[in-house]
Amino acid sequence: MLKTTNDTFKAQIDIKKSNFLAFLTPFENFKTLHESLKQEHPKAVHIVWAYRVINKYGQIIENQSDDGEPKGTSGPPALNALRGASLINSAIFIVRYFGGIKLGTGGLVRAYSTATNLAINEANLIDFIQKEVVVFFTNFSLISRFEHYFQTNNIFDIKKDFNEKGAKWEIDLTMQEFLNLYNFLKTIQTNDFEFLALPIYAKDSIN
């Protein structure tokens, strides 16, 4: 089962006078956290990072950076730690303050792996459930019926935009949630609603 996190967690370790600060965060925070770490730690010699995300096709995308450390000694070990924890849509940053003693290739690999795993151990990991956006339009006459449907099925994070004819609904759904909605829509007159955007899995499921 893939895991993810919905908050940022920090861990710290000192190895031969070098200080390693690790930050595990949701991938959506990647750019902002990277920038803030560079500003908060201007004297750090390296800010190593790695991430794993899943795209709309269900493919896992990975990337990493050694940020000046010897090639393969920092980013890849951090990425491997994310893989080992089955983490997705998550990023790790490790800020290093050099203590004057070189750790060697093996020492660096162990240091960055350990720092990442410490942050993972501090984190509140949750099961990752993939959701994709579904957009559709309904006439005004159906709005209360749809509101009741979503409330009954405990689906509350919904965006609605109104015009003179009705409402455009935008909602993130799992595959099963979409199939349930699709079955519900079969009871509605086709001229009262219209799909505007479907995820890949939905198109495959209803064909």
The reported pTM is 0.77
For residue 19, give the H/E element and its range.
Answer: strand 18-26
Each residue's pLDDT tens digit, 86-119: 999 999 999 999 988 889 999 999 999 999 999 9
Q: Where are the domains of the chain?
A: 3-127, 132-202
Q: Tell me which CATH code domain 3-127 carries.
A: 3.30.230.30
| Number of neighbouring beta carbons within 10 Å of residue 205 | 14
Q: Average model confidence (pLDDT) for the chain?
A: 91
On whether the CB atoms of residues 22 and 9 are closer than 8 A, the answer is: no
Question: Number of C-alpha atoms within 13 angstroms, CB side, residue 100?
Answer: 1
User: Does 1 have pLDDT greater than 80?
Assistant: yes
- 19/98 Cα distance (integer angstroms): 7
Burial 1-10 (b: 16+ CB within 10 A, else e): ebbbbeeebe
Each residue's pLDDT tens digit, 129-182: 888 889 999 999 899 999 999 999 999 889 999 999 899 999 988 888 988 988
Q: Tell me which CATH code domain 132-202 carries.
A: 3.30.70.240
On whether the CB atoms of residues 3 and 85 are closer than 8 A, the answer is: yes
pLDDT for residue 51: 98
